[in-house]
Every structure is written in structure tokens, then in C-alpha cells.
Amino acid sequence: MSEFVLAVHGGAGSMRRLRDDAAGQERIRDGLRGALRAGQGVLSDGGSALDAVEQAVRVLESNEAFNAGRGSVLNRAGEVEMDAAIMCGEKHRAGAVAAVRTILHPISAARAVMERTPHVLIAGLPAEKLALEAGVEEVDPEELATDERRRQLRRLRAAKRVDLDHGGSTVGAVALDRSGHLAAAASTGGMANKLPGRVGDSPIIGAGTWAADGRCAVSATGPGELIMRACVAHEIDAAIRLGGLELGRAASAALAMVAQLGGRAGCIAVDGNGTVAMPFTTEAMPRGVARTGEPPRQAIYDEELR
Ligand code: ASP
């Protein structure tokens, strides 16, 4: 059997508030490790990249240190509104949900869109209804919002700012399984103090999330508006397919395009050979990798994985 690889991220940003907070950093590392172990378990049993990225993201959605599922940021109206997408490299199958509120695991709702409908992206109440019918756990949105997120919203409302840098942020996962298939997944509460109804790049196929067998699986993170305008995830595929670039250069070139538009971002990507690239132009991007038979390794800042 061939080798597998799984990579996860916990959102690009400065993570400045965590610089001197060893316990806070450990919570993020622990969260990444748990997600990597969950996905690694799936892959080492011969499971699919699709199942692995879904399981890894579900673990991160359950962890309130990250801006996804429980612990999602609040919009200007004080509500959680979450986006998620999942994509399978085989035949470019994809599903996504946007602006959902009552779902504990938006990533599984995205998968339900992919598997149970002829559509790719469903938003709002109908997406919530579909998820419930598919057996995805319902939750009272009040339970998703933590006290820390309520305090954050009060600060941002006072400062009249929309914020991206959440300590632990948006989550994503990419994987190559033992059969050579690629998959990508992303889940997020988006930007804190965003306008109600705002949808970011994460559920937009080709912008924040992309997978095409033989080439790459990508999950991007950073300012969603710029990632959409640069179409980051698909841009990486195009640079490989049309430009003949190797994965790392393709990923850095896509981030350079975001920089030209005036922003900083990051991404995790894996190609059909199991090469992983995790570039970021922010100060930090919590991230980690798990390979066949190796313990998962993580990093937050510009440092080696360990
Ligand atoms: N890209 C996400 C969004 O704009 C945010 C992030 O990656 O932190 O919704």
C-alpha cells in the first residue's frame, strides 16, 4: 500500500496575543494534534482522503480554541454564521454551506450537500434543514458562541473594526490517501463583526477550497474577500497544470497575488506525490502534518514543525 499524508491549519494571522501565552499556544497545538490523529486513524486504516479531512475538521469544529463550529466568531448582529466546504479530487465532487447557524458540524453539512443534492453550495435555512435531514447534529447557536467571542465582539464594535485575527482561527485540512485520491475541507465562522449574510472564501470552490486528483488539494486562509478575488486555491492548480510549477512555488505565487491585492494569507496544500506546502505571509499560521507511521508534528509561527 502507498503512503498517505494529512495536513491541517488553524488560520493565518498574527497570533500576537498568543506570543507570550505558552498555555494558549499549547491549546492550539493540542487541537491540531487531535485533528491530525483523527485523520491519521482514518487514513492508516485505508480510509479515504475525504473521510480523513472531514474527521479532522470535525475535531477542530468541536474545539472552541478555533473559529469554526463551537467557538465561531460573531457577526455584527451578535450571531454565529458559519461557512464550510469539502471537495474530493476524484471527478471534482464538491459540497458547501454558507451562513448556517444551527449546525454543530458545518463540514458534515457540506458533505451532505455534495452527496445528497445535485448542487454545490446551499446557504442559510435550507442548508440547515438539509443537514438535519442528513442526520448532522443540530445545536442551539447560543451554545456555539463563547464568552470570549462575546467580549471580542464588544471590543470590535467599539473600535468599528472587522477582525480576522482570532488567535485560533478558520480551520482546514487536505489529504492524500493510500489509493492516491486527494481531498480538501474548510470550516469557519468567518470574520468577527462581519455584516450579517457575509460569505467568505472557505465555501467558494476554487477560492478557499480545491482538490483535483493528480495535482493538488488546497485549503486557503486569510482575508476571504482577497482570496476570492485572487481565486487562490484554483490558481495553485492552474500554475501546476498550465505553468508546470511544483507545488511550493505554485502556492507561494498564489499568495503573492493576494499580496498584490493588499493582503496577507496562507494555505496548506498537498500534491499527488504527497509533497506538502504550507506557506503563509502572515506572522503565524497554526499548522500540522501527519504522515504514514510518523507522529503528527505542528507549528504556529515561522518555525520548524515539531
Ligand atoms: N478566510 C476566512 C474568511 O474570510 C477567514 C480566515 O481564514 O481566517 O471567512
Helices 247-260 and 232-241: crossing angle in degrees, nearest 10, is: 130
| CB of residue 188 inside a 6 A radius of ligand 1 | yes
| CB of residue 75 inside a 6 A radius of ligand 1 | no
pLDDT of residue 14: 87
Looking from the CA of 137 toward its CB, the CA atoms found within 13 Å total: 13
The CA–CA distances, whole Å, from 174 to 21, 156, 191, 246 equal: 28, 32, 22, 17
Give me ligand 1 centre to Cα 240, in Å. Answer: 24
pLDDT of residue 166: 65
| CB of residue 164 inside a 6 A radius of ligand 1 | yes
Q: What is the DSSP letter of 83?
A: E
Q: Of ligand 1's atoms, which has the minimum distance to the CA of residue 189?
A: 9
Ligand 1 site-directed mutation target among 171, 191, 194, 231, most atoms within 8 Å of CB = 191
pLDDT of residue 167: 64
| CB of residue 170 inside a 6 A radius of ligand 1 | yes
Give me ligand 1 centre to Cα 22, in Å. Answer: 25
For cell 448556517, name the residue: 100
Q: In what order do the strands lie in the sheet with 121-123?
A: 121-123, 93-100, 82-88, 182-188, 171-176, 5-9, 287-291, 297-299
| CB of residue 201 inside a 6 A radius of ligand 1 | yes
Annotated catalytic residue within 170, 209, 221, 282? 170
Euclidean distance between CA atoms 287 and 305, whole angstroms: 8
Give me ligand 1 centre to Cα 137, in Å. Answer: 24
| CB of residue 186 inside a 6 A radius of ligand 1 | no
Give me ligand 1 centre to Cα 155, in Å. Answer: 19
Atom 9 of ligand 1 has which residue's CA nearest to it? 190
Residue by residue, pLDDT tens for the chain (306 residues) are 589 999 999 999 988 888 899 999 999 999 999 999 999 999 999 999 999 999 999 999 999 999 999 999 999 999 999 999 999 999 999 999 999 999 999 999 999 999 999 999 999 999 999 999 999 999 999 999 999 999 999 999 999 988 877 666 999 999 999 999 999 999 999 999 999 999 999 999 999 999 999 999 999 999 999 999 999 999 999 999 999 999 999 999 999 999 999 999 999 999 999 999 999 999 999 999 999 999 999 999 999 999
For this structure, is 170 an active site residue? Answer: yes
Q: Of ligand 1's atoms, which has the minimum distance to the CA of residue 222?
A: 7
Give me ligand 1 centre to Cα 164, in Å. Answer: 7
Runs of H (alpha helix) within the chain: 22-44, 49-61, 106-116, 124-133, 141-144, 147-159, 224-230, 232-241, 247-260
**Could you tell me which residues are beta bridge partners of residue 275?**
none
| CB of residue 63 inside a 6 A radius of ligand 1 | no
pLDDT of residue 16: 85
Euclidean distance between CA atoms 121 and 100, whole angstroms: 12
**DSSP letter string, 174-227:** EEE-TTS-EEEEEEE--SBTPPTT---STTSBTTTEEEETTTEEEEEES-HHHH
Strand 93-100 relative to strand 121-123, pairing: parallel
Ligand 1 site-directed mutation target among 149, 201, 280, most atoms within 8 Å of CB = 201
Euclidean distance between CA atoms 182 and 27, whole angstroms: 28
User: Cell digits for 147?
Assistant: 464568552
| CB of residue 282 inside a 6 A radius of ligand 1 | no
